[in-house]
Structure 1
Amino acid sequence: MDETVQKSCWGVTAKAVIGFAGIILLAWLFSGPASAAMIVAG
């Protein structure tokens, strides 16, 4: 049972990371590399 929970947790984590990367990529495509770098840097 622990294995199932662990796999599920990693699936959610992977989706979150991929989603975040997608958002950064879209920001970069629409606003250019310099603006995206400022967004990532905070």
Structure 2
Amino acid sequence: MDDSVERSCWGVTAKAVIGLAGIIFLAWLLIGAETAAVVATAG
């Protein structure tokens, strides 16, 4: 029983970390795209 609880706990943790990394990556892409557009417009 402890084995399955530990596995499911790590599965939830892994999904949360991957999800958070994905959100940060998307935000970075959007911010990067906006910055590039501002630099291109200003230049």
- TM beyond 0.5: yes
4+ long deviations beyond 4 Å: none
Unaligned runs of 5+ in 1: 36-42
Aligned residues: 33
Percent identity between the two aligned chains? 73
Structure of larger gyration radius: 2
Residue 12 (1) aligns with residue 12 (2): yes
Q: Offset at 1:8? A: 0.2
CA distance in 2, matches of 1:16, 1:4: 18
User: What TM-score results when the alignment is normalised by the length of structure 1?
Assistant: 0.74
Unaligned runs of 5+ in 2: 36-43
User: Which structure ranks higher in relative contact order (CA pairs < 8 Å, sequence separation ≥ 6)?
Assistant: 1
Residue 25 (1) aligns with residue 25 (2): yes
User: What TM-score results when the alignment is normalised by the length of structure 2?
Assistant: 0.72
Q: Offset at 1:16? A: 0.2
Matched with 1:39 is none
